[in-house]
Amino acid sequence: MRGWPAAWLVSSAALFIPFVSIASSDSAVGVRAATPQEGQTATRIQTTDPSSPFELTLLRAAAPDATPATVTSGSLDSKFQSFDGYNSTAPSETFWVRLRALTPFDPAGKVPVLIVRGGWHEQIEAFAGAPTVPSPAATSATAAASLPALTSASAASALPAPAAASAPAVAAGPAVPLQHVIDLAEFGGAHNSVFILPAALAAGQSLYARIYVKEDGKQSLRFSIGTLGPALARAAGHARMIALAVGALTSMSFGSLLIWFILKDRLFLLYPGIFLLQAVYLAYFSGEGFEWPLLSYARPIAAYTWNVAIALSGAAACLFIREIADLRHSSPRVYTIFGGLAWAFVILAFSNLADLIGWGGFVADIGNVLFLGSAVFTLIVAFLAWRKGNRAAGWFLIAWIMLETVTIATAIRLLLSRAEESEHLLYYVLPLSMMAAAILVALGVADRLREQRRALSDAERRAQTDSLTGVLNRRSLVERLEAACLRARARGLPIALLFIDLDHFKEINDSYGHAAGDACLRAIIGPIHAELRQSDVIGRYGGEEFVVILSSADMAAAHPIAERIRNRVAEVRVEGYGPPIRLTCSIGVASSDTLGVWGEHLIAQADAAVYAAKRSGRNRVQMAIAAAA
């Protein structure tokens, strides 16, 4: 969540969150991970928790007699040791935990379960305490104790020999494993192993858990009891929310990638770089990803999966912010700094390998500084870009603030209480805020594209129009004429042109000045437009000459339009440059239906008609006539 803006804060919080235990039922006993020595996994057994339903003791399984049958029989209970501190176990080692119920637990008709929270590097089995089978010696001793005192030698001889008194009090029965129902994913890359209890749990009854540490890893062990239905319903709700968030982030990311293939805009490539990696981060950090196809292959390196994903997301975010804030042009130095930060995040992602040589803590500290520092720097840059008018950076800023607020609230809650009390934040608020951030950033990208399109449209309009009058320039006018002629000929329709020439324009410039001449040119555009249809086009052909394209119009339709335009222009008065300036114009009309010509040939015919109108006294309309064969 912080990768992009707040993805960074979430990732720095993520460096702490994985070490917070998450339980899933009514009561729990924590076995918390501590920083292990090289090649060891540290385990803390908390036996003083007043809410604990169990008294916990631990047995190392190094002794050859620590088999399930002997352990669950209770014959090794004296070798279990009570711990209230840290105990290190080497990788690939097995140890036992005895759980002695302090209070009875009867779910009244519901299925009772034992829930053991551990990491994916731990294989967990659970056993019920085996029923005790009295040995022959113990049976004889019990019987003797129940008889009245005997004085005769025969009665005394019936008692067992003294050597028999040293026989064990109980004989080991077969181990009774608890039925393993399912593994439920938990935040921090953990999982809950759910075992069905054979019956209600009585006070003083013992359960045994055998923990096989397959490899070095850091994770909490937590034991709890509950009922099967609520445990499964809770896990199903969490799984749906995580799947929804990951699916939404993935869909938006792939949609952006497809758009990139068309537009080739870097923002559409960096967007999935941020949010697809955040989806991977959320999948692994929630634990759900370790059960999904493809993502489950990362289970052997579970402790590094979310750290690597969020670090690479931070790198993509650095590249993203410098693009969306347009830092290449507005601040080249800051643009370069973000490039350096991106490389730093890539190096940080691969620096997780330093944990193999015992430098994991140092790398985590560097990561915290990098994440928090870059997050603050991004906030400042995004804010300044928004203040300068960059609306896209404003969208980015809103998303960043939202994610940062959620992350800080989650981190504070985890520091002040147990993780199981923060499930609403972890499983609902956090994923929803990530989806909302993805939507807000997408809106920012869309806003940036809209601004670019608007700027491009303005540039195209300026390139196509005459800056003085606002109508099409000569090049664009000719292009429109050619396109209109192609459509008309394809449909069998005529097309007509009006060539409008302002009368005595040189005299106006000489007498009143060029500013007055420019005002006159602007003044006649409105009256001309008033007589045109929406499909008609007007452009400035040169100087005081304008051409009007009348689509689907023949000579009979074009001539009255030209007369109305001439009359409107004659009514124009331009003031502010001395005496009011009266305007008139001469108009030549040419149409394809009478001349049989198209394109610029029509312009030439209409131009010739204008000269004929001027020779005839100006302020008149002249129709072009086909030359005699």
The single residue listed with the structure tokens 């090794």 is 76
Does the structure show a pLDDT above 60 at 140?
A: no
* Selected residue with higher pLDDT from 124 and 421: 124
Whether residue 143 is predicted with pLDDT greater than 50 in this model: the reply is no
Listed in sequence order, the residues at least 6 apart from 359 whose beta carbon sits closer than 8 Å to its beta carbon are none
Q: Are strands 537-542 and 545-551 parallel, antiparallel or unpaired?
A: antiparallel
What is this structure's pTM? 0.66
Q: For residue 339, what are the contacts with CB-CB under 8 A and spacing of at least 6? A: 318, 319, 322
pLDDT of residue 64: 66
Give me the mean pLDDT over the 362-366 stretch.
76
How much is the pLDDT for 169? Answer: 42
- How many Å separate Cα 587 from the centre of its chain? 63
Average pLDDT over residues 483-497: 92
289 contact partners, CB below 8 Å, separation of at least 6: 246, 280, 283, 295, 296, 298, 305
**Residue 258 is which amino acid?**
L
Q: Residue 290: count other Cβ atoms within 10 Å of its Cβ.
A: 21
Going from the N-terminus, what domains does the chain have, and what CATH number goes with each?
Answer: 23-133+170-232 (no CATH), 239-460 (1.20.1070), 474-623 (3.30.70.270)
What pLDDT does residue 626 have?
73
Q: How far apart are CA 157 and CA 524, in angstroms?
A: 140
Q: What is the pLDDT of residues 2-31, one digit of tens each?
A: 333 333 434 433 333 333 332 333 333 333
Query: For tokens 């090049």, what's the residue?
Result: 475
Q: Is the pLDDT of residue 56 over 90?
A: no
Taking the C-alpha atoms of residue 563 and residue 621, their distance in angstroms, rounded to an integer, is: 6
Task: Using alpha carbons, select from 255, 260, 293, 261 the residue that is nearest to residue 276.
Answer: 255
Which pLDDT score is estimated for 342? Answer: 93
- Residue pair 115/225 in contact (Cβ under 8 Å)? The answer is yes
| Lowest-confidence pick of 14-28, 120-134, 209-223, 358-372 | 14-28
Work out the average pLDDT over 322-347. 91
- pLDDT for res 373: 85
CA distance 609 to 624: 5
Tens digits of residue pLDDT in 406-446: 877 877 776 676 656 677 888 888 899 999 999 999 999 99
Model confidence pLDDT, tens digit, residues 236-260: 998 999 999 999 999 999 999 999 9
Report the distance separating Cα 108 and Cα 105, nearest Å: 9
Mean pLDDT, the chain, whole residue set: 79
Give the confidence band of 86 by pLDDT, cuts at 50, 70, 90: very low
**Checking phi first, is residue 578 left (phi over 0); if not, alpha (psi -120 to 50) or beta?**
left
Q: Average of pLDDT values for 123-140? A: 62
Rounded to whole angstroms, the maximal C-alpha distance in the chain is 164
- Does 393 have pLDDT greater than 50? yes
User: Residue 220 has what pLDDT?
Assistant: 62
- At 16 the pLDDT is 32
The pLDDT confidence band at residue 355, using thresholds 50, 70 and 90, is low
20 token code pair: 């917070």
Structure tokens that stand for 532 in this block: 């045109």
Q: What is residue 12's predicted lDDT score, i.e. its pLDDT?
A: 38
CB 385 within 8 A of CB 15: no
402 touches 444 (CB < 8 A)? no
Beta-carbon contacts of 483 under 8 Å, excluding residues fewer than 6 positions away, are none
| pLDDT band with cut points at 50, 70 and 90 for residue 514 | very high
Please, is 23 exposed, middle or buried when counting C-beta atoms within 10 Å of its C-beta (0-12, 13-18, 19+)? buried
